[in-house]
Structure 1
Amino acid sequence: MKYSFLYRIAAELIKDAKDLKDHVVVFPGKRPQIFFKKALEDLGYSGFLPRMKTIEELTEEISGATCIQGLALTLEAYRFHTQLYPMEFSEFLKWFPALAKDWDEILKFAPEPLAVLDYMQEEERILQWAKSLGQDELGEVSQRFLDFWKKNGEYLPQLDRHLEQQGLASPGMVHLMALKNVGQYIAASKERFVFCGLNALTRLEEKLIRELLALDKAQCYFHSDSYYMDNSVQEAGAFLRRHRQWKEFNDFRQFQWVDQDFMQSKYIALYEVPGNVTQTKLLSSILQQIKPEELEDTAVVLLDENLLPSVISELSFVEHLNITMGYPIKNMAFSQGIRALLHLHKQLEIRSGSYYYKDLVNILTAIPAAVTDNEIIATFQKELVEKNRVYLSYKMLKELLGDLSYFSILEKCSSPMELLEKLLAFTTDLKTFKLSDLQYENISHFEKQLRILSNQLADFDFVHSVDVLEILINQLVQTQTIDFVGEPLKGLQVMGLLETRLLTFKNVVLLSVNEGKLPGSGGNSYIPFNVRASHQMHTYLESDSIYAYHFYRLIQQAEKVYLLYNSLTSGINSGEKSRFITQLQMESPHKVHHFVVDTSATATETSEMSVSKTPALLERLERWKSRVAASHLNSYLYNPMDFYLKNILYSQNEEIEEELSSRNYGNLIHFSLEYLYEPLVEKYLTTKDLEGLLGQTEAALAHAMERLKHDPAYYAVGMNYIHKQMALSVLERIIKKDTQSVEEGSSLRILAVEKRFSGVPLEIPGHGSVELRGIIDRMDEFDGQVRLIDYKSSLNSQELSFGLKSFQEGLSYKHSKGLQLAFYLYALGQDAEYSGRAFSAGIWSFAKVGEGVQPLQMKDYTLEDLLEGIKGVIAEILDPDVPFTRTQKVIY
């Protein structure tokens, strides 16, 4: 069935001629040629094959010109533009590609191309436009628009003459030149032309076909259906209805063919699917319902090329799979690595030798590496984490990555052209590495495109920034794909919409049938709708008609049609189904079976995540009993699951902090205070001692940074600089508060700073003994009483107040600071050195330094009562019948 249209053409040709060697068969694209050959073979044809061409190839043959397009055209156009209007290449790139596309369309479709340029720069028309915007004269925007078209009204025709003098032609010029040569070409040709399945035609294509028909030198076969041909408002037949009116079609030469297939019985299913991944999952389910022998006559049509990788992974069960679409290299890992590399060099132009760690990591993780490189990269990443390297100097980078095989591409280049040559050499060298097939193809495509770019830029000297080089590389790579090697005449076909032209299938599955994908968006243009319409150029209406024809032609002979669209509205996706789906639902005679795919699965009650205490977990908890810390208990009260994950299952991974975390902000001050006060331990402080500390705060911070393994440059700018200044202020205010106490007559002696304890036993009823450990930030003797002080970034005084109400409500995370002080008081009480002494405990908040130490207050309860609360927390952690959950705990 898939070859029916092409089989009919082949049968017609064989019936009229025994040998087709003097025929030229013209198709809209290359793909149908394979199936046409197969049709001839199946029909028993044994003569010479006809010449087969696409309509674009025939156009170029008639023109006799060498077509120049893409980057080559852009470079030549810029060189010529600078002779008329000097401009930076980066500015030129912003508007020329869209203008060149518009000019090509003008040359292809407008009967008088220069009239369009004249119309675009009519000052009176633009003035009327300005007045419609409420302006009595040309404003800035309208004046710029006028200047743009006045310059380009001169530039574009002159550019065409310049190209013609060199024997070159843009795609639009090729059509114009072919239009001039078509009469001479037809007269000289001795071949018979067969036009197959064309739809929308340019002026040249229409003139060529009609003149050949009039001279009986051609046959023309259209693939259409009465459903949209006989309905004047159905856009799918808009172009073919016009062609049917040609005078060349009459009783002797009829318009062929208008079939009656669309009205035949069909099963059409519409699936409203949340997300692209879900579409590919559903595709697998649909295909598994189709009989294996029918997969030969089934097409999967992707309207979004980005779905291809997911579709391939879901179709592993299909024995024979032919992929017509290419795999876009822009989405592959190595391509992302090149983008990251170009971004790095753009940043080097700005930062002059300073490297941002994420830029480097993005490159190192995306680019294939040798075994020795992997070792260097692993060491480098470890260094980043351990020393919290956010920005690296070139010297530091050289020390850490200097032995990398491709280190040279990370170094700042003297010019974009030097970078291009380095990239070219780099891709060439990479091909000697051990690579997967996809990696090798990806790198080979990049090498080829970079070589093309290098050759094309050899005669030019206007790429002065990496930004411009990036745009040029993207232009070359954007449309590049890796083609799959397959058997196009066998198995399930995966293709794009244009690849389906002239082919028919029994089963058709279309994915991403969304507005914006079908019909597709028209792209950028400088020519307004009314100008296009008045000069016979294509507007969005004609574009919609082309898409409609492809869609209806594809499904007109199908027996089963599955339409899937993405219903999500996230990102750039509107979640809107294609208008063609609505047409099918409202206008077609077929019932459209509508299914809504729901992946939420909210019918059953969800249960919170919990982890039961298995024998293996209880064994881990048994080991934890030897290292119980106050922070562990606080973590458990806040979120038992976090406690389990961080303290039992695995230790917390270190991460690079671009901005200083609250934990490390506290450490910065803790380590600084330890540095300042440790030399004064066991000494009664004087104002002189404390005034001396004020001059050491910068040195103390430097020491703290070193202990944290933070580069000083980390604190040089931005929020981290502010954090550093805040820390300096906290240090000074703590010292000044101590100074004030001494000046007011209090005695102050530092007993210890960052005092560590471990192995302190605590009996837990039913669970045996545990061992406590921890660090007391500061111990001092204030007016004869020993104070135990814990530093905190912030404090609510109610967190330190324990009365009857606290215990009636139960102990929770809001009591964590007070419980931590009780934890320390108990541990210190077990120390023989302090046995029998009176203690007080309190929190010194960095946010409220001036208020001094806020004491732990036990109104109706004692330390022993709080200790019972601590035992209760530990007992619950060890209880084999209480699972770890995400619910905050309250211990009674």
Structure 2
Amino acid sequence: MTTFIFDVLKDLQKSNCNFSNLTFVMPSKRAGLFLKHQLSQVANETIFSPSIISIEAFVEDLSELRKISNTELLFEFYNTYIQLTKESEKDTFEVFSKWAQVLIQDFNEIDRYLIHQDNIFNYLSAIKEIEYKHWSVEEEQSGLIKKYLAFWNKLGSYYSRFTDILLSKKIGYQGLIYREAVENIESYIQSNTDKQHIFLGFNALNTAEETIIQELLQNDMAKIYWDIDQVFFDNPKHDAGLFARQHKANWLYFKKHPFNWITNNYSNHKNISVFGIPKNIGQAKYIGSLLNSLKDKNPSLQNTAVILGDENLLIPTLNSLPNDIEALNITMGFPLKSIPLASLFESLFHVHKTYSTLLYYRDVINIVSHQFISVLFQDNASKIIETIDNNNLIYLSPNRLRDMAPEASEIINLLFLNWNGVDRVLENCLQLILYIKTYLDRDKTSNLLSLEYLFRFNELFNELVRLNSKYNHIKDITTLHSIYKELLTSETLDFQGEPLQGLQVMGMLESRVLDFETVIISGVNEGILPSGKNNNSFIPFDVKIENTLPTYKEKDAVYTYHFYRLLQRAKNIYIIYNTEADVLNGGEKSRFITQLELDPTHQIKHAIVAPQVPVIEAKLNIVEKNDSVLEILKDVAEKGFSPSSLTNYIRNPIDFYYQKVLKIREFDEVEETVAANTLGTVVHNTLEDFYKPLVGSFLTINSIQNLKKLISETVMLHFADVYKEGDIKTGKNLIIFEIAKRYVSNFLDLEIQDLRAGNQIKIMAIEKKSTVQVDIDQLDFPVRLTGMVDRIDERNGLIRIIDYKTGKVEQTEVEVVNWEDITLDYKKYSKSFQVLLYAYMMQLSGSIKLPIEAGIISFKNLNNGFLKFAKKDRIGPHAKKDTLITQETINNFSTELKQLILEICNNEIPFTEKEV
């Protein structure tokens, strides 16, 4: 395969051109590298390298202006803005930057296309005047409309003053540089009559570029080589040839000179395959699969390019590449915003943008656990996080942080103190980078990439320092954050690779002038290729048409040309698009694919590819019991099975295994909102405090009423004990605090109501802890039961075992029909199992005598009072209920309980997960 660059060099060689005296002007710097490489293959003798320059660098030399960054342009433009705007009407720099970027882009377009600015600005001003003045129903204009119209009237003066200032400083944006280059072209021609310029690979040219190139052509100081195929050029409706047709028709030079070149490469045989793949990650993975298959025929993947239509696919694509690629070159930079260090500074800006004396715990944890910060804290990072969790700290001060880790006071001060003022913030960021660098320098070899990250961020913050010291427009940290993000978005970390060898990974624009035998193009969807109707401009569509400024149609034609130019000389073409509908990008395959499918020139293979998703059978987790597990179970049995552990086994045996055998505990974390179990603990502890002094005595209405006076104080005390330093004075937590007080108050009211009805209640035990041994003949080791009963009382001579529940419990949840069901259905019978187990334990310990009652008091169902356990003779509304727990009840329950314990301790019955 011969490339376009090679063909141009061979043509120049036939013309007996002296390569050393030529100046090659290319669309991009990258194309120049390939030209230099292929020049060595064409030259028959040793020569001095010709001058190879990009069009932007060439025009910058012509203009004698220096291009500055978009961010610095904003600062310069703000200087102009404040000079021309009344003090009372000035926007802050942050607000200004939002609309000024669009206006600078419009200035850029106007200058690149050599439009006289008055043609645009006077027109726009007149349009707005018509819209808001003559069409308004109000005779008197409001202040807002007056300000709005004044803005449009000032556009011309903004432009004139801004460009004058830039020219006086010998700097400019791209459009101004192009306009000045056109002004200087005659002087350049007179001073460089012996220079010969070769323009190659151009397509869409702005008016300034057209003027410069035509002037050089007319003075016999240049040659230009186009790269357009006959198929596209001859089709008046094909956008790939739109600009080439216009140039050939409109340039006077081509009335007498040939149009080099119109080729016939596209009509050659090609293998074109189109693959529809769901999701972007699917595309990246499929690129990896394609490359793996291509390596069988071309191990080095030489002359192979991956073109990413959507540049956000870079990282997933790199992660999907085969591991054994010999040589790789990536022309797209790695965006700084994707580097881990960016998330650290984003977190710091987030914390300090809104000044507060207290720090939110999640923000603190995010920062101290960050990979670049935790190494500075060493063990103190985990110490801080544990202290926050253990004390349930939602908000904390920097002083509290220092108390947690006194050894890390210096770094805590740097991260969380003295971030007032822009200069101070920038100083802290640079100081933090030095801290991290000092640590990484201990092992430079292992930390080369991290040190490169630091270097780039050091450059970024130094640039912010320079801009702010020079212009002094950044007045607060919010504005600084906005400008920081603007710089961060535009900065990339360049890859090192082999630009002339192996696989090439690039964006669509980097492929200009280059040819590859095998091309993989991803992201070929509408809204990406082409990009669609994006109009980020103050200039309306009709005004652009009137002044021959480019619209979305011309921008689409640019991408059409680049897409089809990639196909011209390629032999193997793989086009990939996303089949999944996307709200932002539409999810529709690109019109380029549809054009290819309708084009009779080539046969297109089309396939929808689904990722290989292995069918994984949903198998329930089964854990066999070995000798070591049985030893642990014996230990658990000897210490005692609690009601909660047994009901946990009923609910799901595998959870019992995790909790009791593997000793896996639930992770304790900060409760921002009081959890249900915390509320339950507070209510239980409050009632324990109230009733413990009353054990052994009969309740009186007066004693309960006295307790009501202590509710608020006691509930607060227990919240402080259980919820630690969590805030219960605001928001949802205040509501939950009030709910806890209401639960206790309502329970005491229920107690008073019961006493007023003439019932006698004697408190026998509160929070009664008991451990009893159970005789199970089949087991050769002791088995104990252990638990704590919330309350045991005697009501009218009948003993009651009461379990408190802060959740809602219905009467049907403490009723049993068939005894064998009680250990099978957790959801239906767990409450019955629990209260019967308490009754069984109390009976074994000798604390009570049968018959008794056992049941639940539900704080969300207090209207139904004491929910007694009941044995029903059948299912249905007419079933008979027996609420007394007799020896027969206990015997029936103990039979099922022992069967359950035998199952747990049986080495032949594995722990089997239940379907949830």
TM-score between both structures, scaled by the size of structure 2: 0.89
Look up the equivalent residue of 2:230 and give its one-letter code: S
Q: Is the 8 A contact 1:19 1:47 kept in 2?
A: no
Distance in 2 separating the partners of 1:278 and 1:516: 18
Distance in 2 separating the partners of 1:268 and 1:878: 66
The 3 A distance-change label for structure 1 pair 838 and 49 is same
The question of 1:7 aligning with 2:13 is answered no
The 3 A distance-change label for structure 1 pair 472 and 588 is farther
Structure-1 residue corresponding to 2:315: 309
Look up the equivalent residue of 2:382 and give its one-letter code: A
Q: Is the 8 A contact 1:625 1:770 kept in 2?
A: yes
Look up the equivalent residue of 2:439 and give its one-letter code: F
Look up the equivalent residue of 2:181 and give its one-letter code: A
1:331 maps to which of 326, 338, 342 = 338
2:747 maps to which of 734, 746, 751 = 734
The question of 1:802 aligning with 2:820 is answered no
Q: Is the 8 A contact 1:417 1:463 kept in 2?
A: no
Distance in 1 separating the partners of 2:282 and 2:264: 35
Q: Is the 8 A contact 1:764 1:875 kept in 2?
A: no
Distance in 2 separating the partners of 1:559 and 1:272: 20
List aligned pairs for 1:200-215, cutoff 5 A. Answer: 200-215=204-219
List aligned pairs for 1:759-838, cutoff 5 A. Answer: 760-761=773-774, 763=776, 770-792=783-805, 793-803=807-817, 807=821, 811-832=825-846, 834-838=847-851
Structure-2 residue corresponding to 1:432: 438
The 3 A distance-change label for structure 1 pair 484 and 78 is same
1:294 deviation in Å? 5.7
1:137 deviation in Å? 11
Q: Is the 8 A contact 2:820 2:896 kept in 1?
A: no
1:458 deviation in Å? 0.8
1:806 deviation in Å? 9.3
Distance in 2 separating the partners of 1:459 and 1:630: 73
1:814 deviation in Å? 1.7
1:219 deviation in Å? 0.9
Structure-1 residue corresponding to 2:886: none
Q: Secondary structure at the match of 1:21?
A: helix
Between 704-713 and 803-812, report the one with greater CA deviation.
Answer: 803-812
The question of 1:406 aligning with 2:411 is answered yes
1:533 deviation in Å? 1.6
Structure-1 residue corresponding to 2:486: 475
Distance in 1 separating the partners of 2:376 and 2:689: 41
Between 481-490 and 122-131, report the one with greater CA deviation.
Answer: 122-131
Structure-2 residue corresponding to 1:757: 770
List aligned pairs for 1:419-568, cutoff 5 A. Answer: 419-434=425-440, 436-520=447-531, 522=534, 524-568=536-580
Q: Secondary structure at the match of 1:628?
A: coil
1:678 maps to which of 677, 689, 692 = 692
Q: Is the 8 A contact 1:123 1:146 kept in 2?
A: no
The 3 A distance-change label for structure 1 pair 546 and 699 is same
Distance in 2 separating the partners of 1:852 and 1:831: 28
Spell out, residue by residue over 1:153-172, the C-alpha distance to the aligned partner (whole angstroms, 9 max, x if none): 43222222233333332322
The 3 A distance-change label for structure 1 pair 174 and 409 is same
Q: Secondary structure at the match of 2:115?
A: coil
Q: Is the 8 A contact 1:110 1:537 kept in 2?
A: no
1:452 deviation in Å? 0.6
Spell out, residue by residue over 1:174-223, the C-alpha distance to the aligned partner (whole angstroms, 9 max, x if none): 12222222222222223111111111111110001111111111011112
The 3 A distance-change label for structure 1 pair 93 and 864 is farther
List aligned pairs for 1:146-295, cutoff 5 A. Answer: 146-190=149-193, 191-250=195-254, 253-290=257-294, 291-293=297-299, 295=301
Spell out, residue by residue over 1:27-83, the C-alpha distance to the aligned partner (whole angstroms, 9 max, x if none): 111111111111111223522112121111111111112323312111121122122
Distance in 1 separating the partners of 2:130 and 2:910: 78
Look up the equivalent residue of 2:831 and give its one-letter code: K
Distance in 2 separating the partners of 1:137 and 1:7: 69
Structure-2 residue corresponding to 1:724: 737
List aligned pairs for 1:93-132, cutoff 5 A. Answer: 93-109=97-113, 111-123=115-127, 126-127=130-131
5+ residue gaps, structure 1, are: none
Alignment length (residue pairs): 880
Q: Is the 8 A contact 1:637 1:813 kept in 2?
A: no
Look up the equivalent residue of 2:745 and give its one-letter code: E
Look up the equivalent residue of 2:326 and give its one-letter code: E
The question of 1:864 aligning with 2:891 is answered yes
The 3 A distance-change label for structure 1 pair 788 and 294 is same
Distance in 2 separating the partners of 1:874 and 1:752: 28
Between 801-810 and 729-738, report the one with greater CA deviation.
Answer: 801-810
Look up the equivalent residue of 1:48 and give its one-letter code: F
Structure-2 residue corresponding to 1:341: 348
Look up the equivalent residue of 1:560 and give its one-letter code: N
Distance in 2 separating the partners of 1:140 and 1:268: 61
Distance in 1 separating the partners of 2:869 and 2:342: 60
The 3 A distance-change label for structure 1 pair 757 and 100 is farther
1:328 deviation in Å? 1.2
Look up the equivalent residue of 1:710 and give its one-letter code: K
The question of 1:321 aligning with 2:300 is answered no
Q: Is the 8 A contact 2:525 2:587 kept in 1?
A: yes
Structure-2 residue corresponding to 1:77: 77
Distance in 2 separating the partners of 1:129 and 1:235: 41
2:381 maps to which of 369, 377, 380 = 377
1:330 deviation in Å? 0.5
Spell out, residue by residue over 1:488-524, the C-alpha distance to the aligned partner (whole angstroms, 9 max, x if none): 1111111111111111111111222222221235362
Look up the equivalent residue of 1:287 and give its one-letter code: L
1:769 deviation in Å? 6.2
Q: Is the 8 A contact 2:277 2:579 kept in 1?
A: yes
Q: Is the 8 A contact 1:126 1:142 kept in 2?
A: no
TM-score between both structures, scaled by the size of structure 1: 0.92
Structure-2 residue corresponding to 1:658: 672
Q: Is the 8 A contact 1:196 1:222 kept in 2?
A: yes
Between 689-698 and 488-497, report the one with greater CA deviation.
Answer: 689-698
Distance in 2 separating the partners of 1:762 and 1:594: 74
Look up the equivalent residue of 2:556 and give its one-letter code: D
Between 165-174 and 293-302, report the one with greater CA deviation.
Answer: 165-174
1:297 maps to which of 303, 309, 316 = 303
List aligned pairs for 1:706-717, cutoff 5 A. Answer: 706-713=720-727, 715-717=728-730
Q: Secondary structure at the match of 2:671?
A: coil
RMSD: 3.1
Q: Is the 8 A contact 1:26 1:194 kept in 2?
A: yes
Look up the equivalent residue of 1:289 and give its one-letter code: S
Spell out, residue by residue over 1:228-272, the C-alpha distance to the aligned partner (whole angstroms, 9 max, x if none): 111111111111111122444548631112221112111222222
1:838 deviation in Å? 4.1
The 3 A distance-change label for structure 1 pair 424 and 807 is closer
Spell out, residue by residue over 1:282-337, the C-alpha distance to the aligned partner (whole angstroms, 9 max, x if none): 22211111123460111112223333233223322212111221111201211111
Q: Is the 8 A contact 1:386 1:709 kept in 2?
A: no
Between 245-254 and 312-321, report the one with greater CA deviation.
Answer: 245-254
Distance in 2 separating the partners of 1:646 and 1:227: 73
